[in-house]
Amino acid sequence: MSDPLLTYLLRLGDDSLILAQRLGELVSHQPDLEEDIAVANLALDLIGQARALYAYAGEVEGRGRTEDDLAFLRDEREFFNAVLCEQPNGDFGQTMARQLLFDAYRLPLMDALTASADETISGVAGKAVKECRYHLQHSITWVVRLGDGTEESHRRMQAGLDAMWRFTDELFTGDEVEATLAASGIAVDPSSLRDPWEATIKEVLARATLERPVDPRQRGGGRQGMHSEHLGHILPEMQFLQRAYPGQSW
Amino acid sequence: MTPEERFEAILAADEKVEPRDWMPDAYRKTLIRQIAQHAHSEVIGQQPEGNWITRAPSLRRKAILVAKVQDEAGHGLYLYSAAETLGISRDELQDLLHAGKQKYSSIFNYPTLSWADMGAIGWLVDGAAITNQVMLTRTSYGPYARAMIRICKEESFHQRQGYEIMLTLANGSAEQKAMAQDALDRWWWPSLMMFGPPDAESTHTEQSVKWKIKRETNDQLRQRFVDATVPQAHFLGLTVPDPDLHWDEDSGHWRFGPIDWDEFWEVVKGNGPCNKERLAHKVQAWEDGAWVRDAARAHAAKHADDPMEVSA
Ligand SMILES: [Fe+2]
Ligand SMILES: [Fe+2]
């Protein structure tokens, strides 16, 4: 990847789109009608964020690729989402664990990006930060309810958290892409998001009476396009029409 | 004035019956049945369109589809609330649905087999629903009428986005046009059936019209829908799958061929292509979510006296 800004935008946008894709699978499968609406709402916000980021990525790249070209015509190794975002929904506990771990990272990220030296990024972040605040509130509410609910919900919530925990280090691991852009005030150094994330997680786990998982061996690679096996199933489903009927408008 | 006379006077004056008003038992029962069926339809209606959320062909279409399905779930909520004003809870109504004792619109028992079905559903199914729902904004029961006013505002967006999908496909490649025609072929007749059996055979229509729950009959609404929709199909350059369809100069209506009521009754009885899957999906989601709902209740009970506990 030659242009760090392009890579950075794809990393941000791919997190949004791939997580939205997972959440989209859940519509009509949720525990009640309110949560069907909530999960659709999360997906909708994330799709909106992805579109704005891809549109700008296409501009930065300057080769005329549209938001849809970027979403539907890239292959696995060209996606740079964190592997956390592509993990399966599992049960509601696992979904909420994934969401909490992501939201607690994404909110301080977007908050910091509102001060980005890049006006387009700060504009996208300004809108996203309000959405992320609601998302985090929603996931905290559920993690606390499930953790401090019944014996079964506690067990499931803890299991979901344990399963998702090993995909979290990646969120805070940057490379020369972020380093270069952070130096010019465009990006945020991901390691700087670790403290606010830890603070949120610590408080939520305490309220939820959940144990902080013991750090197992962490799994990353998504930021470099090295994914878990799941992404290779998400993409063909998502890209089916664009691949089967190339070059048409929809 | 007796309560009966007051009720009749409200209807005669075209005013709204409100939850606190006396109403005949049969009026209450009819409303519960109709509003519940309507609410269940919105909820089950998430499934056929939800089937394409992960496969929508552009990000714009994906966002629109998610928003639409979300609206339908919201409609379910408004309608359950309206039904609750009649003295029955959402949980009770859901149990009746899950037990197969209450119905939802048969249209949702047809499968969504291509992207064009997202267009056809918005255009035809939402279009038919709007025809019915616009009438229901004037229904005699206040909470139902008010729910309908909110719902109708969103339904017109649903119909437009569906027609726009059809228009894009109809003006697209040969493959896309074929996809659109195939969707019209499969959804046309089931959409006409959405208005229910012909007036002559409809057991509920006459009484419902007297009570001003319905303001027009099934056949009147069906004709209005056909008259509005046929020119739209022509504008798309698609063929309505009805060899008998013709313009009747004298009446100013599009006359359509016989509807296969045997198919209609088969689907109503539970023998449509997806009846089993739709209900099983709904019941499965509800059962899978039991531990979550239990946890929410247990958590709320533990923290009932906790002033710091803020729930979102
Ligand atoms: Fe609706
Ligand atoms: Fe609708």
pLDDT grade for B309, boundaries at 50, 70 and 90: low
pLDDT band with cut points at 50, 70 and 90 for residue B312: very low
Question: What angle, 0 to 180 degrees and rounded to 10, lies between the N-to-C axes of helices A33-61 and B59-84?
Answer: 160
Structure tokens at B204: 């509920």
A27: nearest CB among B46, B59, B168: B46
Question: Does the complex come out with an ipTM higher than 0.85?
Answer: yes
Which residues of A are less than 8 Å from B67 in CB distance? 40, 44
Give how far A159 is from chain B: nearest CA, Å.
Answer: 14
Tell me if B59 and A54 make a contact (CB, 8 A cut-off).
Answer: yes
Q: What is the pLDDT along chain A (250 residues), one digit of tens a residue?
A: 469 999 999 999 999 999 999 999 999 999 999 999 999 999 999 999 999 999 999 999 999 999 999 999 999 999 999 999 999 999 999 999 999 999 999 999 999 999 999 999 999 999 999 999 999 999 999 999 999 999 999 999 999 999 999 999 999 999 999 999 999 999 999 999 999 999 999 999 999 999 999 877 899 999 999 999 999 999 999 999 999 999 999 9
A124–chain B nearest CA distance, Å: 17
Query: What is A4-210+220-244's CATH number, 3.40.630.10, 3.40.50.920, 3.30.470.20, 1.20.1260.10?
Result: 1.20.1260.10
Torsion, Cα of A118, A120, A126, A130 (10° steps): -130
Residues 6+ apart with CB under 8 A from A123: none
Chain A hits for B58, Cβ within 8 Å:
68, 72, 242, 250
| CA distance linking residue A67 with residue A47, whole number of Å | 11
Residues in chain B within 8 Å Cβ distance of A43: 53, 66
- Asked if A108 and A196 count as a contact pair (C-beta separation under 8 A), the reply is yes
A122 touches chain B (CB under 8 A): no
Minimal Cα distance from B68: which residue of A? A40
What pLDDT is stored for residue B204 in this prediction?
80
For the segment B78-93, the average pLDDT, to the nearest whole number, is 97
For the beta carbon of residue A150, count every other beta carbon within 10 angstroms: 18
Contacts of residue A248 in chain B, CB cutoff 8 Å?
172-173, 175-176
Residue A226 near residue A217 (C-beta atoms within 8 A)? no
Residue B33 C-alpha to ligand 2 middle, in angstroms?
Answer: 20
Return the residue in B291, B294, B311 with the most chain A beta carbons within 10 A, the one to mutate for interface testing. B291
CA dist B85 → A205, B16, B78, B82 (Å):
40, 14, 11, 5
The reply to whether residue B59 touches residue A153, judged by beta carbons under 8 angstroms, is: no
Percent of chain B with pLDDT over 70: 98
CB contact under 8 A, B312 and A40: no
Ligand 1 center to B151 CA (angstroms): 6
Of A33, A48, A152, Cβ closest to residue B63: A48
| Rg of chain A over all Cα atoms, to the nearest angstrom | 18
Q: Give the integer Cα–Cα distance in Å for A40 and A184.
A: 36
Does A109 lie at the interface with B, CB-CB under 8 angstroms?
A: no
Is the C-alpha dihedral spanning B90, B203, B13, B26 positive or negative?
negative
Determine whether the interchain pair B292/A153 forms a contact, defined as Cβ–Cβ distance below 8 Å: yes
In the predicted structure, residue B102 carries a pLDDT above the cut 90 = yes
Give the gap in angstroms from C-alpha B73 to the nearest C-alpha of chain A. 6
> Which two structure tokens, joined as six digits, stand for A36?
């069907």
Ligand 1 centroid to A33 CA: how many Å? 14
Task: Write the pLDDT tens digit of every residue in B210-246.
Answer: 999 999 999 999 999 999 999 999 999 999 999 999 9
Q: Does A146 touch chain B (CB under 8 A)?
A: yes
Of the candidates A28, A67, A250, the beta carbon closest to that of B285 is on A28
- The answer to whether A28 contacts B172, with C-beta atoms less than 8 Å apart, is no
Residues found in chain B: 312
- CA dist A22 and A87 (Å) reads 8
Q: Enter the tokens of residue B143.
A: 């909470």
Going by the DSSP 8-state scheme, the letter that residue B255 receives in this structure is E
C-alpha B170/C-alpha B167 separation (Å) is: 5
Residues around ion ligand 2, judged by CB within 5 A, are B 126, 155, 158
Q: In terms of CA atoms, which chain B residue is nearest residue A26? A: B50
pTM: 0.96
Distance A210 CA to ligand 2 centre (A): 41
Indicate if the pLDDT at residue B134 is higher than 80: yes
User: Which residues of chain A lie closer than 8 angstroms to B292, CB-CB?
Assistant: 31, 35, 92, 146, 153
